[in-house]
Amino acid sequence: MGYVDGSIPCPEKMITETTVSGAQQVPNPTYQAWLQQDQLVLSALLSSLSESVLAQVLFLSTSHEVWKALEGMFASRSRARAMQIKIQLSIIRKKDDSVTDYFLKVKQLVDTLASIGQPLDDEEIAVYMLAGLDTEFDPLVTSISTRSDPISLGELYAHMLAFEARMAHNNNTAFRDADLAANNVYRSNRGGKPSNRGRGRSKGGQQRGTSPGNGRNSNDSRPLCQVCGKFGHSALKCYHRFNHSYQADDGRVAAAATTSYSMDPNWYADTSATDHITGDLDKLSIKERYHGKDQVQAANGSGMDIVHIGHSQIHTSNFSLCLKDILHVPQSNRNLLYVQRFATDNNVYFEFHPKFFLVKDRIMKELLLKGKCEGGLYSFSSVSDFQPKNAFGSVRLSQKEWHC
């Protein structure tokens, strides 16, 4: 290595030798030995280079000259690479990633910096990590930023995971509470007279919805939209059909059905529903007796008791899709699939087309289910490959807290 780094310098080619006839210049034998060894090192060094790099150092004559040229060349590239990585660290954002995925992305960039000789300490990494978090993490960012002692990378990761888990818990609770308020759900004693809120909500002294007195009952010949829950148009023509953030404000109404029909084996996809509901207990693979006093309000305004609550799955040839918190309502005669919950629980999305609809995996875009559209209602059959859980056009009258 001494030849390469210059610690064994090149000796003089000629030396002065004094004889009886006087001083004269003669070849230095040490130089010849050094040159022979240096050329061996140079040959080995050049043979390890790619053609593009070799072309830039081929004119140099010693191993030390080649090494210095390579050092300058790659040091410049390393600095540029380090700047590029630091820019990436400064603009990286968590967005929809989980804490684990976000942490791994940052860590990968940090490890790359270390590999080119510019490692960051834990505090610098924490600064980049916190800067990329969403505003919902502001309490955590403030807490860590105001600490008097530095935080290790492992400790930061643990705090972020705990905060993410807490937010998920709070969001789930908030969703249930907001759903309860937005849909005017009410608690009704079993056997008592329901207060006919929800879709039959009073407005200016008149009721709209499914009360028999206003003509919008189960015998109404006009189509009932599955998206917004209103009469007069189908889901295909609904203004809100492609607005995935839209939530109907007409209560827990399963707009796809009324109590005037016999039991329908199909599943009906409904964006305005707020629960999966079935009248067939066999649809629940995991079930528990429901002991609350909540009811489900049908489209005609009548209250129906919830008898069981449970879970099940829809089995396709390659996948099993889960149905959680299914309400078993024996009086229900149609099976309603609550689109928003089904999409969230299974990480899928729906595509609604004029004659059919598709359910696809959100990550791989793979087709999982295909249903049909008849009479403005989107449904798929309950066949052997699918063992779906059911639901019905109705409104649950108050919130329940139950978990498998």
The β-bridge partners of 326 are: 276, 310
- The three state secondary structure string of 154-213 is HHHHHHHHHHHHHHHHHHHHHHHHHHHHHCCCCCCCCCCCCCCCHHHCEECCEECCCCHH
CA distance 169 to 172: 5
CA distance 336 to 302: 17
Domain edges within the chain: 2-71, 92-177, 183-202+220-396
**Which of the 8 DSSP states describes residue 214?**
G
Query: Can you give the pLDDT at residue 213?
Result: 38
Cα dist from 22 to 13, 16, 18, 27, 276, whole Å = 20, 10, 6, 16, 112
Give pLDDT tens digits for 38-47.
899 988 888 8
**Which of the 8 DSSP states describes residue 90?**
H
CA distance 269 to 271: 7
Give pLDDT tens digits for 197-242.
333 333 333 333 333 333 334 444 556 666 666 666 666 566 665 5
Tell me the angle at which helices 138-145 and 153-182 cross, rounded to the nearest 10 degrees: 150
> Is residue 395 within 8 Å of residue 344, measured between CB atoms?
no
Q: Residue type at 88? A: Q
Q: Residue type at 173? A: T
Please, which residues have CB within 8 angstroms of residue 52's CB and are 6 or more apart in sequence? none
The β-bridge partners of 377 are: 374
Query: Can you give the pLDDT at residue 214?
Result: 39
- Residue 307, pLDDT > 70, answer yes
Give pLDDT tens digits for 15-70.
888 777 778 888 888 888 898 898 999 888 888 888 878 888 888 889 888 888 88
- Residue 175, pLDDT > 70, answer no
What region does 376 belong to: left with phi over 0, alpha with psi -120 to 50, or beta? left
Query: If we measure between CA atoms, which residue out of 333, 357, 341 comes closest to residue 266?
Result: 333
> Is residue 322 within 8 Å of residue 387, measured between CB atoms?
no
The β-bridge partners of 305 are: 295
CA distance 394 to 306: 11
Neighbours of 373 (CB within 10 A): 19
Please measure the distance between the N-terminal and C-terminal CA atoms of the chain and give it in whole angstroms: 69
Task: Extract the runs of DSSP E, i.e. beta strands, from 234-294.
Answer: 267-270, 276-278, 286-289
- Residue 324, pLDDT > 70, answer yes
The structure tokens listed for 90 are 């400064």
Give pLDDT tens digits for 333-380.
778 888 999 999 989 999 988 889 999 988 888 888 888 888 788 887
What is the pTM assigned to this prediction? 0.35
Q: Residue count of the chain, please give it.
A: 404
Query: Can you give the pLDDT at residue 80?
Result: 81
